[in-house]
Amino acid sequence: MSPVISHLSAESSSSVRLVSGPHHCEGRVEVKRDGQWGTVCDDEWDLNDVAVVCRELGCGAAVELGCGASGEIYKPLAEEMQPILISEVKCNGTEDTLAQCGQEDDVYDCSHNEDAGASCEIPETVRLVGGPGRCVGRVEVKHRDQWGTVCQAGWNLSAAKVVCQQLGCGKAILTRTYCDKASHGQGPIWLSQVSCTGQELTVLGCHSEPWGKNNCTHEEDTWVHCEDPFELKLEGGDNHCSGRLAVRHKGTWGSVCDDGWGEKENQVVCRQLGCGKPLSLSPKARKPFGPGVGHIWLDDVHCSGRERSLEKCRHRFWGHHDCTHNEDVAVICSAKDSDFPGA
- Residue 252 carries which side chain, given as an amino acid letter? T
Average pLDDT over every residue of 243-247? 93
Average pLDDT over every residue of 134-163? 92
Indicate if 76 and 53 belong to the same structural domain: yes
Chain segment 175-224, per-residue pLDDT in tens: 776 666 677 888 999 999 999 998 887 888 899 999 999 999 999 999 99
Domain stops at, among 120, 136, 155: 120
Give the per-residue pLDDT at 2: 36
CB contact at 8 A, 342 and 68:
yes
* Of 189, 208, 15, 195, the residue nearest 100 (C-alpha): 15
CB contact at 8 A, 29 and 46:
no
Q: Which helix (H) or strand (E) holds 267?
A: helix 263-272
| pLDDT > 90 in the chain, percent | 38
Secondary structure of residue 56 in the 3-state scheme: helix
CB contact at 8 A, 126 and 142:
yes
Torsion of CA 137, 140, 141, 144, to 10 degrees: -150
* Biggest CA pair distance of the chain: 66
Domain stops at, among 180, 206, 226: 226
CA triple 69-303-292, angle to 5 deg: 125
For residues 308 and 297, what is the distance between their CA atoms, to the nearest angstrom? 19
| Assigned domain for 8 exists | no
Chain segment 271-323, per-residue pLDDT in tens: 889 898 898 765 545 557 878 889 999 999 999 888 888 988 999 888 899 99
Domain stops at, among 198, 226, 254: 226
Tell me 257's DSSP state.
Answer: B
Indicate if 243 and 333 belong to the same structural domain: yes
The CATH number of whichever domain residue 239 belongs to comes to 3.10.250.10
Please state the domain count of the chain: 3
Strands (E), 13-144: 16-19, 26-33, 36-40, 62-64, 84-90, 102-104, 117-120, 126-133, 136-143
Indicate if 112 and 173 belong to the same structural domain: no
Secondary structure of residue 70 in the 3-state scheme: helix
Residue 87 vs residues 21, 38, 92, 118, 250: alpha-carbon distances, Å: 21, 11, 16, 15, 47
- Expressed as residue numbers, the domain containing 217 is 126-226
Contacts of 63 (CB under 8 A, 6+ apart): 26, 50, 119, 120, 121
Total Cβ atoms within 10 A of residue 277: 14
Indicate if 95 and 189 belong to the same structural domain: no
